[in-house]
Structure 1
Amino acid sequence: MFEVLKNYSWELLLGLNYLIAVITAISIILSNVNPTKTLSYLILLLAFPFVGIVIYYLFGQEYRKSKIFERKNVLNQHRIKEWKNSLFLDSDIIQRIEDNLLEDKIRLVKLLFRSERSPLTIHNRVKVLLNGEQKFKALFEDIDKAEKTIHLEYYIIEDDIIGGQLIDLICKKSKDGVKVRLSYDYVGSKLTSRAYKKLKEAGVTYHPFMPVYFPKFTSKLNYRNHRKIAVIDGKVGYVGGINVTDRYVNIPGSDRYWRDTHLRIEGEAVGSLQLHFLLNWDFLTDYDLVIEDHFFPKPEVNDKALVQIAASGPDSDWASIMEAIFTAINTADKSIYITTPYFIPNDEVKTAITSAARSGVEVKLILPEKGDSWAAQYAGFSFVEEMLESGVRVYLYTKGFVHAKTMVVDDVFATVGTSNMDYRSFNINFEINALVYDRAITKELSEVFNEDLKSCRELALDSWRNRSKVQKIKESFNRLWAPIL
């Protein structure tokens, strides 16, 4: 018997592999997920023995419907319900807003409220921050002024120069009596033992998001918290694309340049950022979080800038950010300006973009000429020819790496946040975006977009079609894995 196993070990292992692959394939088909994604996984399982199974169980399982991320404790607390009720807008107010400011973008407001109960907030002051230099200067000043709470939630925090400055500052504030809560993604962040020791000694409460330890590795690696949230005293909030590490800060004279966009918000919308931080914090901790009144102070802002916060991830019933982007594109009358570092749109968003361009809407798209992921870069390039054929004007950013995740529609709507325009952000990662319905802010973001165009080269359809066969092969190969990149 042992001799038979020894002589036919490879055949037996291969047979076992395909038995597991077939069972897994049946499970994937019965889950009724996106057909393109289903086909990608089936090809992976059948064409790549052993490797395909490992990759699927690491990256491919769908948790949106399984409710393992369900979070109820925070939402059920009286203070949260009271805060939400304070932001309720009756039909008469919504009608006046619709007539005067939103035009047909009211569909977005209703979509997010019905899918995620995300309130439209009116009294806000919004400031656009370009690159890490502006973001960290403002953030550090606000943290230094904190009196009660500092809540930070980041995909990447590293113990380098800028990360060390943040850690030193929050440790100082914690020692001064400010309650500091820090959430960081276990996979994205890199903190040294020295940093952990410093945080612990200062009394900072910190938790990693879904640590990846064997044997639980397979169920957690793929679902990461890609959000970047900061909330100070419940009064000031930050959201956007900028993580906490040195590469997000541009040093004069350096060869490296990182182009990014963030928002600083004061007013009612800060409460929504606070809520999502608390939902995540409650999920990470073993104890029930008690919501204190000072988490949601009465806003002192009289400025009017309409803001809605959209959050999505495996914990939500709907892909809210993707649906918001899809709806915004479909309601465009004049222009759509998109900046994204990773462009791997699903069929719905791709069709919306190309249809808008063919219908006469001015659609411009900025992508990085050189990305930080060759697989995602080539997968994204595989969509460019179809964009150009549809009339989308595509630009490659040449000054450095563009990491901003923004979209401006018709000079009345803009979104800035953490979500890339790809499958991972739409369906897998935990993301958060600010949706702004304000002509002044959208005008500013349009000007930023046009300024970025000065550091781009526009692609022409004829020359793009003549790119090398090697590049076309790379694009086609990597596009096969688009749903799992």
Structure 2
Amino acid sequence: MLKKLQKLIADRRFVGGVLLAVQAAVVICVIAFVSLSWMWVYRMCTILSAIIVIWLIRKYDNPAYKIPWIVLILLFPIFGGLFYLFWGNTPFNRNRARHRQRLRHPDFSAVPEPPASEEMAAALPRYTRGARYIQNESAMPVWGDTATTYYPVGEKQFAAMCEALESAEHFIFMEYFIIEPGKMWDTLLDILVRKVREGCEVRVMYDDAGCLGTLPHSYDKYLCSLGIHAVRFNRFIPTLNTYLNNRDHRKICVVDGNIGFMGGINLADEYINERIRFGHWKDTGVRLMGPGVANMTEMFLQMWEYTTKDRFFDRDRYMPTVVRSGDGYVQPFYDSPLDDRNVGETVFMHIINRAQRYVYITTPYLILDNEMITALTVAAQSGIDVRIITPGIPDKKLVYRVTRSYYQQLHRAGVKIYEYRPGFLHAKMILSDDDVAVVGTMNMDFRSFFLHFECGTVLYGGETISEIRDDVLDTMGLSRQIDDEWFRSVPWLASIAASILRLFAPML
């Protein structure tokens, strides 16, 4: 019993949750007590809540985010408005996250060949608008002469990453949401330490909130003691604020500027099925070799500058130096919660709206706003074969209930839903018509589209897309299709509970 208690106290997630709950309880108790003692405080809090509700109605936020807050404020007018000031999407809270500095505009002049945006537009004109949108909003262009490799499971990407890291001669950049000691990370860390001793520049950035349950709070200092430049992104400080939601959910690995990895795979043993938590862990990733890696390098450098305030004035030495033969085009990109542009969701929308035959999506979480529901249902009702694969075994039961609450509306419109029976599907992909696909870190949920720092690689044309398609079809073969019989088996009380949870889904 004592050991369990010690373990619980040492868990930063537990301690942080307790501190946040205590702060919230103190705020509620203080406001309630003061309001009962001084009626003018009660009136002022109620007036504040009314003003915030009116402001929310007029605000250009996504309705899926505004409605839960409006409901909470109306239910608890005394402290609902104050809680929105603490946790809501207010200009003050957003400015606190933006305070560091603006992201520098990338410079790709040192890349051995120019971007291939015009060539891609000529070869695949249907996707010109989407590619131009990404370039305009995130300054990440399309590249050719880049070899691509698709990894249908984490084990294969892990082996390729080890080989790539062993080949490093100049630098290694790694940016991940989760790092956890074990076979995967320990193996990679041994290589990184060896490369530091050989004179390589090694930089590692990890999300502090994502690693609450996996790393001690001073792990960055330990890495620095090994000669690795290490940074914790958005250090977790358990106070009532909204920028704790802005997590670095990206997964990027760059070696010498010529090799880059991206996808859903974090650096923990469940991602390579060395640790079994929720059945077989199905994840995916992609490797780029050539000029296309320049976008990944720029993304990493921008985030490092944003986090540390350091400036890289010699960025040219991190740019690719080789070209590789490739039969398609690539466009790695990022999405940031610090602006009013939902790049990730818009990229998905472009693909769905331009589909002519099919759209296949894999996602661990399915929490959709009205715009995405409309895009998916209209596509299905227009004769497009729309299929979505979600996990058969959940990692978060509450979120899983919300995910399932969207099935019926999509199913009635003709969208085919599948659940991966062997275990947990963590892959985050969308592909369409054998000529476009995205492999990245974005879930089909509110957090990924609106709150997190995310990234993905768009693949235009090429044989790699056929490999992705074949893998998705194989995954469907291992999945159960949701049908009318499945809906009849769902208890009506569970269905009602899920619908209520769905109202507050953007806050989960």
**Aligned to 2:122, which of 96, 102, 108?**
96
Alignment of structure 1 residues 242-391 onto 2, 5 Å: 242-251=265-274, 256-391=279-414
2:109 aligns with 82
**Aligned to 1:144, which of 145, 161, 166?**
166
Unaligned runs of 5+ in 2: 1-32
* C-alpha deviation, 1:379, in angstroms: 1.6
Q: Is the 8 Å Cα contact of residues 209 and 235 (structure 2) preserved in structure 1?
A: yes
Alignment of structure 1 residues 156-235 onto 2, 5 Å: 156-189=178-211, 190-192=214-216, 195-196=219-220, 198-213=222-237, 217-235=240-258
* C-alpha deviation, 1:466, in angstroms: 4.9
* C-alpha deviation, 1:353, in angstroms: 0.8
RMSD: 2.8
Q: Does 1:68 find its partner at 2:101?
A: no
Query: Which deviations, in whole Å up to 9, do the C-alpha atoms of 1:293-322 show, x marking residues without a partner?
Result: 220032231223201122111234521111
Helix, strand or coil for the counterpart of 2:98?
coil
* C-alpha deviation, 1:155, in angstroms: 0.7
Helix, strand or coil for the counterpart of 1:203?
coil
Q: Is the 8 Å Cα contact of residues 87 and 120 (structure 1) preserved in structure 2?
A: no
Q: Is the 8 Å Cα contact of residues 397 and 453 (structure 1) preserved in structure 2?
A: yes
Q: Does 1:458 find its partner at 2:500?
A: no
Distance in 2 between residues matched to 1:108 and 1:7, nearest whole Å: 53
Q: Is the 8 Å Cα contact of residues 389 and 461 (structure 1) preserved in structure 2?
A: no
Aligned CA distance change for structure 1 residues 243 and 89 (closer, same or farther; 3 Å): closer
* TM-score (structure 1 length as normaliser): 0.89
- Name the count of aligned residue pairs: 472
Distance in 2 between residues matched to 1:212 and 1:426, nearest whole Å: 21
* C-alpha deviation, 1:358, in angstroms: 0.8
Q: Is the 8 Å Cα contact of residues 35 and 42 (structure 2) preserved in structure 1?
A: no
Aligned CA distance change for structure 1 residues 350 and 166 (closer, same or farther; 3 Å): same
Aligned CA distance change for structure 1 residues 16 and 199 (closer, same or farther; 3 Å): same
Aligned CA distance change for structure 1 residues 26 and 107 (closer, same or farther; 3 Å): same
Distance in 2 between residues matched to 1:6 and 1:342, nearest whole Å: 42
Query: Which deviations, in whole Å up to 9, do the C-alpha atoms of 1:410-453 show, x marking residues without a partner?
Result: 11111110001111111111110100012411111111011111
Q: Is the 8 Å Cα contact of residues 150 and 179 (structure 1) preserved in structure 2?
A: yes
Q: Which amino acid aligns with 2:373?
A: K
* C-alpha deviation, 1:203, in angstroms: 1.4
2:75 aligns with 47
**Aligned to 1:35, which of 60, 63, 66?**
63
Helix, strand or coil for the counterpart of 1:421?
coil
Q: Which amino acid aligns with 1:75?
A: H
Query: Which deviations, in whole Å up to 9, do the C-alpha atoms of 1:84-133 show, x marking residues without a partner?
Result: 89534475x35532xxxx25122221221233232111111111112221
* C-alpha deviation, 1:73, in angstroms: 6.2
Query: Which deviations, in whole Å up to 9, do the C-alpha atoms of 1:234-255 show, x marking residues without a partner?
Result: 0100110011112212149987
1:427 aligns with 450
Structure 1 stretch 275-284 or stretch 136-145: which is displaced more? Answer: 136-145
* C-alpha deviation, 1:260, in angstroms: 0.4
Helix, strand or coil for the counterpart of 2:210?
coil
Q: Which amino acid aligns with 1:157?
A: I
Unaligned runs of 5+ in 1: none
